[in-house]
Amino acid sequence: MKLTSKGRYAVMALMDLARFNNINPVSLRDISLRQGISLDYLEQIFSKLRKKEIVQSVRGTQGGYVLNRKAKDIKLTNIFDAVDEKVKTVQCKKDSKKGCNGKATKCITHNLWDELENHINNFFEEKSLEDLVKNNFEKRV
């Protein structure tokens, strides 16, 4: 059980963006250099973030990206959702119409994974981008 790099990079990039947000659009090139993430990969990630209206793009020279909402209104859960970083604990939840493991009924652990998903999602729904930036700054001081 682990997060993918895509989810982690998305959070890193948005934290980076949030810090410089009020001045100018931030270019992916800058984020790439500061955070050590491949530029091509960042472009894929930001394409998704834009479609979910988490960021806005500014094209052309001096362009880049800006947050589309206030940092406190962007929750971790929104970010992960945008880049398809889902908390799908197990396959049996994929098509819930059928049962689990090709059977007609739910598997005996089904309730457990439901609980686990809720537990994790609660964490993601509480944390905002603002929290993360503040917290990171404080710990460094």
Work out how close the CB of 78 gets to a second copy at its nearest, in angstroms, rounded to a whole number. Answer: 15
Residue 109, interface with DNA (CB under 7 A)? no
Restricted to residues 113-132, the positions that interact with a second copy (CB under 8 A) are 113, 115-116, 119-120, 123, 127, 132
CA-based angle 35:38:49, to the nearest 5? 80
Size of residue set near a second copy by CB under 8 A = 41
Work out how close the CB of 41 gets to DNA at its nearest, in angstroms, rounded to a whole number. Answer: 4
How many Å apart are CA 10 and CA 54, to the nearest integer? 11
Of 40-48, 50-58, 66-74, 108-116: span binding a second copy (CB under 8 A): 108-116
How many Å apart are CA 115 and CA 104, to the nearest integer? 21
Binding partner at 25 among DNA, a second copy, none, C-beta below 5 to 8 Å by kind: DNA
Residue 28, interface with DNA (CB under 7 A)? yes
Instruction: Output Rg (C-alpha) for the chain, integer angstroms.
Output: 18
Secondary structure, 3-state, 86-140: CCCCCHHHCCCCCCCCCCCCCCCCHHHHHHHHHHHHHHHHHCEHHHHHHHHHHHH
How many Å apart are CA 92 and CA 86, to the nearest integer? 14
Residue 33, interface with DNA (CB under 7 A)? no
Segment (H or E) for 59: none
CA-based angle 21:26:31, to the nearest 5? 110
Give bridge partners of residue 64 from the DSSP assignment: 58
Of 24-32, 57-65, 67-75, 90-98: span binding a second copy (CB under 8 A): 90-98
User: Residues in the site for a second copy, rule: CB under 8 A?
Assistant: 1-5, 7-8, 11-12, 15-16, 35-37, 85-92, 101-103, 107-109, 111-113, 115-116, 119-120, 123, 127, 132, 135-136, 139
User: Residues in the site for DNA, rule: CB under 7 A?
Assistant: 2, 4-6, 25-29, 38, 40-41, 43-44, 46-47, 50, 57-65, 91
